[in-house]
């Protein structure tokens, strides 16, 4: 026969008997907690990535109102049938609807073209919100009708005698070297992809979107941060009414 267990040994055995399930539960709880914590971290990281992608898409597709073009009157010569458009162009200060430049014009034809120089930068600059290259840049040049040569159009900027950069095109009151270089060498960038790429320029080109004018309509001109110039009507056709004589 084996000797009976001592009181101390019995206490140890009793402890192990009751403690073992607790230890097992603790181990299981620790595993479950770590798994849950890892899952939470994974979900949090996924949410962060999705949120960041959303911000990049918002920046890329964001549009800025840069100008309005109002159709004041459409006329037609009763003898020759020649059509003309009386228009008002209004450009705004960046990020506002505060007038920076305004010009009225009388153009031949029934379609109006808005000519501008546009610089678009590589997408990653836009995604990152870069200070200098985080959005497209433009200079309005002129407006002209479909019955005239572009060179005969009406200028859409005010220029000072001592600067090749139109006043309205300046980002700062005193334009920096980068901005001066962009516009001074615009056509070099437009014709030399390697030179353009060195400055982070994706596209440098002239753009002239146009619309068939409707009397009483106001067309807004917007510039996409990662794209070009767009012209769309502000007022629905039901409000504007007929297209005039």
Q: What is the pLDDT of residues 202-244, one digit of tens each?
A: 999 999 999 999 999 999 999 988 788 999 999 887 778 654 4
C-alpha pair distances (Å), 6 with each of 10, 13, 54, 73? 6, 11, 71, 113
Q: How far apart are CA 53 and CA 209, in angstroms?
A: 30
Are 67 and 36 within one domain? no
Q: How far apart are CA 125 and CA 137, in angstroms?
A: 13
The boundaries of the domain holding residue 114 are 63-235
Residue 243 lies in a domain: no
Residue 227 lies in a domain: yes
Are 19 and 70 within one domain? no
pLDDT attached to residue 126? 79
Residues of the chain with pLDDT under 50: 55-61, 161-164, 168-173, 243-245
Of 215, 183, 191, 236, nearest to 84 by C-alpha is 215
Domain edge (last residue) among 41, 61, 81: 61
Split into its structural domains, the chain has a count of: 2
pLDDT attached to residue 180? 76
């Amino acid at each position: 026969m084996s000797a009976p267990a001592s009181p101390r040994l019995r206490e140890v055995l009793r402890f192990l008997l009751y403690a073992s399930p607790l230890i097992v539960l603790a181990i299981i709880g620790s595993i479950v907690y770590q798994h849950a914590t890892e899952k939470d971290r994974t979900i949090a990281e996924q949410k962060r990535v999705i949120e960041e992608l959303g911000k990049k898409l918002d920046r890329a597709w964001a549009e800025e109102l840069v100008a309005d073009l109002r159709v004041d009157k459409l006329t037609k010569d009763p003898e020759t049938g020649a059509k003309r458009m009386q228009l008002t162009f209004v450009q705004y200060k960046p990020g506002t609807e505060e007038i920076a430049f305004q010009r009225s014009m009388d153009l031949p034809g029934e379609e109006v073209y808005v000519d501008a120089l546009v610089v678009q930068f590589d997408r990653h600059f836009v995604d990152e919100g870069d200070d200098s290259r985080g959005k497209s840049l433009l200079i309005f040049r002129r407006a002209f009708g479909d019955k005239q040569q572009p060179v005969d159009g009406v200028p859409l900027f005010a220029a000072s005698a001592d600067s090749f950069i139109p006043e309205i095109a300046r980002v700062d009151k005193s334009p920096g070297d980068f901005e001066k270089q962009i516009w001074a060498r615009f056509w070099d960038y437009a014709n030399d992809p390697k030179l353009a790429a060195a400055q982070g320029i994706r596209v440098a080109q002239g753009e002239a979107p146009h619309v068939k004018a409707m009397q009483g309509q106001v067309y807004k001109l917007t510039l996409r941060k990662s794209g070009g110039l767009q012209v769309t009507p502000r007022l629905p056709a039901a409000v504007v009414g007929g297209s005039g004589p």
